[in-house]
Amino acid sequence: MDKEPFLKSLQKFLSFKGRIKLFIVFLAISSVIWFFKKFSKEYQEEIKMKIEIVDLPKSFKIFSISDTILSLNLKATGFHFLYYYFFDNNIKISFKKAVLLDNTAVLEVGSIFNKLQDQLLGEPEILSFFPNKIKVIYQPKFSKKVPVNLPDFNLGVGYFITGITLDPDSIIITGTKKKLSKINQVDLNFKKGLPIKSTYRKKIPIQIKKNINYNSTDVSVELSVELFSEKKINIPISVSNFPKNKVLKLFPSQAELFFLSSISNFKKIREADFMIGFDYDSIEKEKKTAKLKLIKSPLDARNVRFNPKNVFFLIRE
């Protein structure tokens, strides 16, 4: 039996494939027509929308809401219901017309019917809604200003902080009176890293507490850091209010004084910047000893200490 020529077979195949394409196109067009015809019709269905409370005074903090879902029985086209199902299921409930009493706000939903209608896509008809009333329990919000608490910084050995700049140095916090009563400072969310040996600048976030609002959530910190060293000097012991007609002998007559200061300030600090001594009128003369005090010290000197703490004295007429 003779085989069918190749070209004739190809023509039959293409003719069959063309009929398939035509069928698919016809099916697609039919489906589109059916879709538009079906969803252009009006239906009566219930949709559930998430409630978003608006227009409460800013000084109120919502504690609880009686209902978080508003059920709407609508008469609308199928396209509208598709939109609410897939894209938008939130609705804003204005509490401007709510009745406020004893930390409770009660709203008759019917009083804002027009605002509900205005938020819906197109012009669907609201047949009914539930609940009829929404109750919000709130607490008045208060504010106070609290300082920023500096963390412990990891400084290099021998280094000290010589200057601190915080921006801001205090933060306004807002919340309920009970919450605010427990907060007296704002802590920074700081993690220690490598030892600091030079000027340090960084924006550090604050530690956020639940149900508290902050007017700033981070603080710019700048630290001036310098290398310090210790120095020892001898300071003559001074006595105030000693009678001019008497002679005083002290044992010892000088005190050893130790202090820390930055390397850059060592040359500026002199022995005359310190004073150690006692007031003659305030001591017990019969004991023959007086307790020494640091009377004067420059601001650039830190951790000042001296020896001895007491001195013996003799008085001659």
Domains in the chain: ranges and CATH: 42-140 (2.170.120), 142-227 (2.170.120.40), 229-316 (2.170.120.30)
Kindly state the percentage of the chain with pLDDT values over 90: 38
Give residue 35's pLDDT. Answer: 47
Which carries the bigger pLDDT value, residue 208 or residue 140?
208
Which carries the bigger pLDDT value, residue 317 or residue 97?
97
pLDDT band per the 50, 70, 90 thresholds, residue 21: low
Q: How many CB atoms sit inside 10 A of residue 12's CB? A: 10
Answer whether residue 225 shows pLDDT above 90: yes
Degrees, nearest 5: CA angle 162-164-169: 160
Answer whether residue 275 shows pLDDT above 70: yes
Burial of 230 (0-12, 13-18, 19+ CB in 10 A): exposed
Give residue 45's pLDDT. Answer: 83
User: Based on C-alpha coordinates, what's the Rg of the chain?
Assistant: 42
Q: What is the pLDDT of residues 143-155, one digit of tens each?
A: 899 999 999 999 9
Give residue 23's pLDDT. Answer: 47
Which carries the bigger pLDDT value, residue 26 or residue 97?
97
CA 252/CA 271 separation, integer angstroms: 17
pTM: 0.55
